[in-house]
Amino acid sequence: MESISVDVLVLGWGKAGKTLAGALGRQGQHVALVERSPQMYGGTCINVACVPTKALIHRAEERRGTDDPADYFATSVVARDTLIAQLNARNHAMLAEVDTVTLIDGQARFVAPDQVEVSAGADRLLVRADTVVVNTGTVPAPPQFEGAADSTRVYDSTTLQHVEPLPRRLVVVGAGYVGLEFASMFAHFGSSVHVVDHNESLLPREDRDVAEAVRRLLEEQGVEFHLGQTVQSVLDHDGAEQGPGTVVTISGSPDLGTRTLRADAVLVATGRVPATPDLDLARAGVTTDARGFIEVDEHLRTATPTVFAVGDVNGGPQFTYVSLDDHRIVLDQLVGSGGRTTKDRVAVPTTTFLSPPLARVGISETEARELEIDVLVAVKDVAGIAAMPRPKIVGETHGLIKVIVDAETDLILGATLFCIDAQEVVNLIALAMRTGTTASRLRDGIWTHPSTTEALNEVLASLRPLAPGA
Q: Report the Cα 69 to chain-centroid distance in Å.
A: 26
Distance CA 330, CA 16 (A): 9
Q: Is 194 a catalytic residue?
A: no
Single-letter amino acid, residue 387? A
Distance CA 85, CA 88 (A): 5
Distance CA 323, CA 33 (A): 16
Question: Strand 358-362 to strand 350-352: parallel, antiparallel, or no bridges (unpaired)?
Answer: antiparallel
| Residues tagged active-site | 449
